[in-house]
Structure 1
Amino acid sequence: MTKRRGTGLLLALLAFAQFISAIDYNIVYVALPEIGRDVGFDAHSLQWVVSAYAVAYGGFLLLGGRMADLLGRRRMFTTALVLYGLASLAGGLATGPGVLVAARAVQGLGGALLLPATLSLINTSFAEGAERNRALAVWGGAGAVGLALGSLLGGVLTNYLGWESVFYVNVPLALGAAAVAYQAIGPDPSRAQGRSFDVTGALSATVGFTALVFGVVQGPEAGWTSAQVLSALIGGLALVGLFLTVEARTAHPLMPLRLLRNRNLVAAMGVTFVFMGTFGAQYYFFTLYLQNVHHYSAMATGLAFLPSALTGMAGTKASEKLLGRVGTRTTLTAGLLLGAAGMAVLALALSPTGGYPALLPGVILLSLGQGLGWTAMFAAAGTGVDAAHQGIASAMASTTQQIGSAVGLAVLIAVASHGTHATDGAALVPGLRTAGFTAAALTLLGVAIALTLRRGSASRTAAGGEGDAETATPALSA
């Protein structure tokens, strides 16, 4: 456990960093039509305003996790925020597609450095059990609010100040948080002698996962049998295979393969893959339904996400209590089942003529399940992992999260567009319904994975605590 000062300020800062990152996930969606018109994107290339972020984020997470472990968590946390702020400034100043896409990619790099540093700071600064569960609930709640408010803030800013403001707003937030970090986070310890960085592993993992995410993102547009997509997917798989071979043989691996013996971590990786491929895609389809079927304005679309924010906060608070009382497996399973039910109910409510109130039961169930599941799956990922490997363990779960997001969105877009070329109006509704039902069914795969978590508790192994362990934590006080 790292020595810390002022854990209240520390937790507030880490939650704020998650809030910034979550806001940016959705804030750009609402501004996309205006960005496309003003910056000069065509219908095909506009997706890269979103995809450039996802590709860089997913590709650099493992590297970011190991950098946090080896170079220092405060150092990487502040570096990530500065990168994020400067890239946001560049994005707002962009006058052409190339500069904007590059800025989004650097934002993604900043996110890839920020998330594992943040999670490893939580997992090494708060004791495993009730204290850590509470910290994760606060962190997860900030993310839930940021996801929902991102759409609202994006609508307000785009409506009154133009699309550039959705980038500029990140600059003072990120740079201000970086400045506070020197007060809230204790100095990084001296780097341990004799620990090399595993350059071969870092390069093969970064390029391999970047290629995989690129191939998945590009597949629906370019065609899954196109040369660029096949080259990216095959090349990415080959490099990931090389990465695993290197990790098995090197003395100082980027990702110690013994971490895969931690049953909770492996299960969390599987759940995060499914979670982001199903829950994460709902923001895209809900925005599409409101704007392209019912022609909501950017402002109205943002306001439509407010119930999701409030319910997500309630879900993360409930998750904190449930983790202490019934353990990770039950909490995570309950969240996934609630979310699956919400997706199905929401899909049933989609209609060319239906009003917003009909959507609320599905939105509430979905958001409550998301709040429960988000906190629980990251609690599982950090359980029984030695402090020296918390950064890379967090990055492993987050990498599957990002790849799952890209794969899930690609699959569900293909499902929604099957048999139609419509981009607007009532013709979109049948495909959106089918995508919703498909996401609900796929979420049940996450339930099956969550059930592989062990009940009860197990002591950490002597070799760094990376054995099978479960977060059956003491009940929280009222």
Structure 2
Amino acid sequence: MEPPMSAPRVRPAWALALLAFAQLVISLDFNIVYVALPEIGRELRFSDQSLQWVVSAYAVAFGGFLLLGGRAADRLGRRRMFTLALGLYAASSLVGALAGGPGLLVAARAVQGLGGALLFPATLSLINTTFAEGAQRNRALAVWGGAGASGLTLGSLLGGVLTDAFGWASVFYVNVPLAGGAALLAPVLLRRDSGRPVLRGFDLPGALTATAGVTLLVFALVQGPESGWGSPRILAAVAAAAVLLAAFVVIEARTAAPLMPLRLLANPDLRAGMAITFVFMGTFSALPYFLTVYLQGVHSYSALRTGLAFLAPSVVIAAGTQLGERLAGRAGTRATLLTGLITGALGTALLARGVAADASYAALLPGIVVSGLGQGMTWTGMWIAAASGVRTDQQGIASGMASTAQQVGGAVGLAVLVAVANARVGGLTGQALRHAEAGGVRAAVYLAAAGIAAGALVALTLRRRTAPGAGDAPEAAARPVVPPPVSGPRGVPGPGRPAGR
């Protein structure tokens, strides 16, 4: 157990500002590379098939190492992992900027993904152990989650501006001072880890099987649409993933100090939170991809104009996270998620209605506004649910579990929705292609709306709260000391899946 935070040495508002900034770095790195992909492909001579690995290498490493990252935060120290992860981000970004060929750039992106897998659960568990469960934690999660919307906006805008002005390498150089500066501030603004890293009894077999199994699963989901779902390497990856994950479950049931204590799955709120993060990433977070395809492919928007088009959803999602925090404090997590998911489903269906080959951006705005509000409320609520009733010393692995569900959901959802969107565009050109692309995007967005509505059914499994906004109390011995009220910066929502084609 970690000692109480010393208020005179660490100001919660400044700590929260740094943690929110780390979330901004993650979302910025998700999105900033997309508009640079065409120039990267030309300059470094990627093939059409291999270029996708500039994106996929990040996604595979991020998804595969999240469970390990979550447990490492609990056992090796949250501040240590937070600092290490930001250092990896900065170093790999510098290597990526200096890359002279495809191999080195893809390797750098994989290391960035590893940094993200270590950073995300460390950041989330630092919030969950610094701020007491209930109103304070809800507010902190809204600020942290809200920072992602800034990354979505800045990623789209900066990617276009920097690539046009300075070339593709600038989208990697920009991460170096951001991540490096945050790493230097961590020892100043965050509470020191208690004691030395706990390596004794570390579940190495569980770590190896979980990391390899999830990595292969994410690889298959990411590569499947490109290679074909029936290709030998995809079938082999799925089979190996199934064997490794089954072995992981057996190991966790028998080891004395498991990487992922299976008893955590007895927490219904954590289970529901994991399921909703899966749905969220596969639906809400796929929308930027399809908006980019629609705006650039159907309406021939430039990269910069596309980035400007994402200002509206980013602002609305930011408002939704703050609304979700207030609603969670007054009506509880269950009501917040139900409200967010139902609002999001209606808004996403409205967005689909505005998609047409001859429609304007204005036709999308009503759906963008309603869907964005629902997305922001859901983002805040699902992380509150995933943290509720979890002991302080297990917040890292709980965060890793929910984050892994999020990443796998993103890979599954995008693969399904892309298959639907591309079902009728083969062999077409000119106006016929434009209309077919618009129709495919519309069908995919309608399907996303149906998936969001299904998520509302999952939210019904959450326990009702006798006291609005109060979560299940962790064990008394593990409850963090309540810090002074947060008066720091107001953040802005974690987007999800990056946009790109």
TM norm structure 2: 0.90
CA RMSD of aligned residues (A): 1.7
Match of 1:321 among 316, 319, 326: 326
Contact 2:390 2:474 in 1 (8 A): no
How far 1:247 sits from its partner (Å)? 0.4
* Cα distance change of structure 1 residues 459 and 41 upon mapping to structure 2, 3 Å threshold: closer
**Mapping for residues 219-234 of structure 1, pairs under 5 Å:** 219-234=224-239
Match of 1:200 among 194, 200, 205: 205
- Give yes or no for the alignment of 1:44 onto 2:46: no
Work out the CA distance in 1 between the residues paired with 2:253 and 2:332.
33
Work out the CA distance in 2 between the residues paired with 1:54 and 1:114.
14
How far 1:427 sits from its partner (Å)? 2.9
1:79-122, CA deviations, whole angstroms, 9 ceiling, x for partnerless residues?
00000111111111122111111111111000000000001100
In the other structure, the counterpart of 1:114 is 119
In the other structure, the counterpart of 2:461 is 452
* Cα distance change of structure 1 residues 456 and 158 upon mapping to structure 2, 3 Å threshold: same
1:161-217, CA deviations, whole angstroms, 9 ceiling, x for partnerless residues?
222111111110000000000101121111476841100000000000000000111
Contact 1:339 1:370 in 2 (8 A): yes
The more displaced of 28-37 and 223-232 is 28-37
Contact 2:77 2:197 in 1 (8 A): no
Work out the CA distance in 2 between the residues paired with 1:329 and 1:255.
25
Identify which of structures 1 and 2 has the higher relative contact order when contacts are C-alpha pairs closer than 8 Å and 6+ apart. Answer: 2
What amino acid is the match of 1:86?
A
* Cα distance change of structure 1 residues 193 and 144 upon mapping to structure 2, 3 Å threshold: closer
In the other structure, the counterpart of 1:472 is none
Work out the CA distance in 2 between the residues paired with 1:19 and 1:79.
17
**Mapping for residues 41-440 of structure 1, pairs under 5 Å:** 41-191=46-196, 195-421=200-426, 425-440=434-449
Contact 2:75 2:198 in 1 (8 A): no
How far 1:145 sits from its partner (Å)? 2.1
Work out the CA distance in 2 between the residues paired with 1:192 and 1:353.
60
In the other structure, the counterpart of 2:5 is 3
What amino acid is the match of 1:441?
A
* Cα distance change of structure 1 residues 60 and 459 upon mapping to structure 2, 3 Å threshold: closer
What amino acid is the match of 2:5?
K
What amino acid is the match of 2:252?
E
- Give yes or no for the alignment of 1:443 onto 2:448: no
In the other structure, the counterpart of 1:469 is none
What amino acid is the match of 2:389?
G
1:351-409, CA deviations, whole angstroms, 9 ceiling, x for partnerless residues?
21211111111111121111111111001111110010000000000000000001100
Work out the CA distance in 2 between the residues paired with 1:136 and 1:14.
10
Contact 2:279 2:409 in 1 (8 A): yes
Work out the CA distance in 2 between the residues paired with 1:358 and 1:193.
56
What amino acid is the match of 1:113?
L
How far 1:461 sits from its partner (Å)? 7.0
Work out the CA distance in 2 between the residues paired with 1:285 and 1:344.
14
Work out the CA distance in 1 between the residues paired with 2:477 and 2:249.
21
How far 1:460 sits from its partner (Å)? 4.3
Q: Partner of 1:280: helix, strand, or coil?
A: helix
What amino acid is the match of 1:53?
Y
What amino acid is the match of 1:340?
A
Work out the CA distance in 1 between the residues paired with 2:476 and 2:246.
26
Contact 1:385 1:465 in 2 (8 A): no
Work out the CA distance in 2 between the residues paired with 1:308 and 1:331.
20
Work out the CA distance in 1 between the residues paired with 2:90 and 2:478.
36
Q: Number of residues paired by the alignment?
A: 466
The more displaced of 167-176 and 348-357 is 348-357
TM norm structure 1: 0.94
Work out the CA distance in 2 between the residues paired with 1:60 and 1:194.
18
The more displaced of 48-57 and 349-358 is 349-358
Work out the CA distance in 1 between the residues paired with 2:162 and 2:352.
29
In the other structure, the counterpart of 2:33 is 28
How far 1:464 sits from its partner (Å)? 8.0
Work out the CA distance in 2 between the residues paired with 1:345 and 1:162.
37
Work out the CA distance in 2 between the residues paired with 1:391 and 1:103.
25
Work out the CA distance in 2 between the residues paired with 1:153 and 1:366.
24
What amino acid is the match of 1:10?
A
Contact 1:19 1:145 in 2 (8 A): yes
How far 1:226 sits from its partner (Å)? 0.7
* Cα distance change of structure 1 residues 273 and 464 upon mapping to structure 2, 3 Å threshold: farther
Percent identity for Structure 1 against Structure 2: 60
Contact 1:158 1:298 in 2 (8 A): no
Work out the CA distance in 2 between the residues paired with 1:338 and 1:166.
35
What amino acid is the match of 2:394?
H
Work out the CA distance in 2 between the residues paired with 1:332 and 1:465.
27
What amino acid is the match of 1:386?
R
Work out the CA distance in 1 between the residues paired with 2:42 and 2:188.
43
1:104-147, CA deviations, whole angstroms, 9 ceiling, x for partnerless residues?
11110000000000011000000100100110010011012212
What amino acid is the match of 2:370?
L
Work out the CA distance in 2 between the residues paired with 1:462 and 1:16.
30
What amino acid is the match of 1:317?
Q
The more displaced of 90-99 and 57-66 is 90-99
How far 1:46 sits from its partner (Å)? 1.6
* Cα distance change of structure 1 residues 462 and 316 upon mapping to structure 2, 3 Å threshold: closer
Work out the CA distance in 2 between the residues paired with 1:216 and 1:74.
32
Work out the CA distance in 2 between the residues paired with 1:148 and 1:357.
19
Listed as ranges, the gaps of 5+ residues in structure 2 are 480-501
In the other structure, the counterpart of 1:476 is none
Q: Partner of 2:364: helix, strand, or coil?
A: helix
